[in-house]
Chain A
Amino acid sequence: MCKSGRSFETPDCVGSSGRAAAGMIRTSLLLFCILHSLIMTAYTRHNTHKTPAQQQYLATVLLVPTCNAANTGRSFSQNFEHTIAFDFVEQLQKILNMHYSNVRCLLSHQRARPISPFQQVNTANCLFVDLVIACGFYKETEEKPSVHLYSFSYGQEFIKKKWDLSWCPYEQTYLIKKTETQQYAKLCQEVLNEYPNILNMYGPYRIPLKPLIGMIPPALLFEIGIRHDKDWQQIIEPISDAVSAVINTILSNLREWSI
């Protein structure tokens, strides 16, 4: 015999206990829906609390010091190229992050870590970055720093095959974004030529460079000659202006394509 509201002993009993079970199910469903809507509301508010610029990065720039913990590079009076290049790119990253909230600036590897062969190339290609800036330093005898600008090329580009959908040899991947690379190199040259009192500008040169081989996005290498270890601070501003000019070009191109 069924008792009202509590007993579920007999499955054939559809009386008050069955109605109670159905009521409990409805109540639990109602509570679930309320909780779910509260959670979704809180998540949406959390996302909309961010500014629209922080929600989406329009462009990505990869900064590549040409040395790592295993290969410390060329030697200076008190340091190695590894230390100076990392100090330089970290400062460059801070400046670019300050100027551009919608551009993501990444470092290719950490300071105290060795890198495997082609690690930087894989990072640049897999992350679909818009620009790669590599920086290297050497000891210069002249007082004024020298800046040599390089991009990758194996020559005879006019006779090289263009690919639609096929395997591309790694020494010819630069052809995919060759036009943009040359445009950005010329832009950097124009900006750096506006600082004749601070640095001597050479280039841009197109030669087979090991740090840039295999990269699909436009890649430029700045090789900077300095006399003293801290002289890199003199040229951070011209280099950041040159990179900023290139980033502005990339952003304006992206806006044109989105229209």
Chain B
Amino acid sequence: MIIGIIYFVLAHHIVVIRYPLSIENEASLNAMKKKECGVYYWHNNAWVTEKIYLLSSANDAYNIKQLINGMFGLLVEEQLLTKKVNVESVLLSQNNNDLYVSFSRSPFSKNEPIFAKWMRIEGILKTIRSNHKSINNVRFLLQHQPLQDTHLDFSQPWPIKGFTENQK
């Protein structure tokens, strides 16, 4: 009966036992540092670089999410994006080579030409690879479903280097 009572309180989280290791993990997550990151976007037929300051942690996925959200905030300030786009979630594969980025809404406007859409994605890829070297491929999602666009195909992951070097 005593064992049953102990099991009941543990299963219903009435009593919570925390191990010493979990305290260390939380401490590492809480240890955030202010970091300067470079953001790239295409404007007036040229690449523009800006520096933004982000709070980075030991969690790479969290850092990438903050980075892309910072980039979209900058694009809204520059009036290159009419509506604010947020990154809902970012996941890294086990080997940290593949990145999954899920947007809250489409990062493209309805009347944009193909070139503008392509350069926006290239800007995201360039920003990620300049701040995180280990990623090889990026898959873009919309609300955790494959991103659908009329002109660009996102059924396969895009290489982190993009397609600007593919034009030679």
The answer on a CB contact under 8 Å between A223 and B114 is yes
Count chain A residues whose beta carbon lies closer than 8 angstroms to a beta carbon of B: 26
The answer on a CB contact under 8 Å between A75 and B113 is no
The answer on a CB contact under 8 Å between A73 and B114 is no
In angstroms, how far is the closest chain A Cβ from the Cβ of B30? 40
The answer on a CB contact under 8 Å between B166 and A155 is yes
Using a CB-CB cutoff of 8 Å, which residues 124-162 of chain A contact chain B?
A: 136, 138-139, 148, 150, 153-156
Complex formed: what's the CA distance from A213 to B154 in Å?
11
Instruction: Answer whether residue A225 sits at the interface, using C-beta atoms and an 8 A cutoff.
Output: yes
With both beta carbons as reference points, the residue of chain B lying nearest to A223 in the complex is identified as B114
Instruction: Answer whether residue B163 sits at the interface, using C-beta atoms and an 8 A cutoff.
Output: yes
The answer on a CB contact under 8 Å between B159 and A210 is no
With both beta carbons as reference points, the residue of chain B lying nearest to A137 in the complex is identified as B113
The answer on a CB contact under 8 Å between B152 and A208 is yes
Complex formed: what's the CA distance from A210 to B156 in Å?
11
Complex formed: what's the CA distance from A138 to B115 in Å?
11
| Residues of A contacting B34 in the complex (Cβ-Cβ under 8 angstroms) | none
Stretch at the interface among A94-102, A199-207, A241-249: A199-207
Complex formed: what's the CA distance from A153 to B150 in Å?
16
Complex formed: what's the CA distance from A154 to B152 in Å?
11
Using a CB-CB cutoff of 8 Å, which residues 63-93 of chain B contact chain A?
A: none
Instruction: Please tell me which one of the listed residues A66, A156, A206, A223 contacts residue B167 in the complex, with CB atoms under 8 A apart.
Output: A206
| Residues of B contacting A156 in the complex (Cβ-Cβ under 8 angstroms) | 159
Instruction: Answer whether residue B110 sits at the interface, using C-beta atoms and an 8 A cutoff.
Output: yes
Instruction: Please tell me which one of the listed residues B110, B152, B153, B166 contacts residue A171 in the complex, with CB atoms under 8 A apart.
Output: B153
Complex formed: what's the CA distance from A148 to B116 in Å?
11
With both beta carbons as reference points, the residue of chain B lying nearest to A225 in the complex is identified as B113
Complex formed: what's the CA distance from A173 to B160 in Å?
22
In angstroms, how far is the closest chain A Cβ from the Cβ of B8? 54
Instruction: Please tell me which one of the listed residues A148, A153, A207 contacts residue B113 in the complex, with CB atoms under 8 A apart.
Output: A148
Main secondary structure of the interface of B (DSSP, over half): loop
| Residues of A contacting B151 in the complex (Cβ-Cβ under 8 angstroms) | 66, 136, 209-211
In angstroms, how far is the closest chain B Cβ from the Cβ of A78? 14
A148-B150 contact, Cβ under 8 Å, with A155-B166, A208-B156: no
In angstroms, how far is the closest chain B Cβ from the Cβ of A65? 12
Complex formed: what's the CA distance from A139 to B159 in Å?
30
Instruction: Answer whether residue B44 sits at the interface, using C-beta atoms and an 8 A cutoff.
Output: no
In angstroms, how far is the closest chain A Cβ from the Cβ of B149? 7
Instruction: Please tell me which one of the listed residues B114, B115, B166 contacts residue A153 in the complex, with CB atoms under 8 A apart.
Output: B166
Instruction: Answer whether residue A71 sits at the interface, using C-beta atoms and an 8 A cutoff.
Output: yes
| Residues of A contacting B110 in the complex (Cβ-Cβ under 8 angstroms) | 74-75
> Which of A136, A155, A209 has the most chain B CB within a 10 Å cutoff?
A155
The answer on a CB contact under 8 Å between B153 and A210 is yes
Instruction: Please tell me which one of the listed residues A73, A202, A208, A225 contacts residue B153 in the complex, with CB atoms under 8 A apart.
Output: A208
Instruction: Please tell me which one of the listed residues B115, B152, B167 contacts residue A210 in the complex, with CB atoms under 8 A apart.
Output: B152
Instruction: Answer whether residue B112 sits at the interface, using C-beta atoms and an 8 A cutoff.
Output: yes
The answer on a CB contact under 8 Å between B118 and A207 is yes
The answer on a CB contact under 8 Å between A206 and B113 is no
Complex formed: what's the CA distance from A155 to B156 in Å?
11
In angstroms, how far is the closest chain B Cβ from the Cβ of A167? 16
Instruction: Answer whether residue B104 sits at the interface, using C-beta atoms and an 8 A cutoff.
Output: no
Instruction: Answer whether residue B155 sits at the interface, using C-beta atoms and an 8 A cutoff.
Output: yes
The answer on a CB contact under 8 Å between A73 and B150 is yes
User: Closest 3 A-B residue pairs measured CB to CB?
Assistant: A208-B153, A74-B111, A138-B113
Listed in ascending order, the chain B residues whose CB lies under 8 Å from chain A are 110-115, 118, 149-156, 158-159, 163, 166-167
- List 14 A–B pairs whose Cβ atoms lie within 8 Å, in order of A's numbering: A136-B151, A138-B113, A155-B159, A155-B166, A205-B115, A205-B167, A206-B163, A206-B167, A207-B114, A207-B163, A208-B156, A210-B149, A210-B152, A213-B155
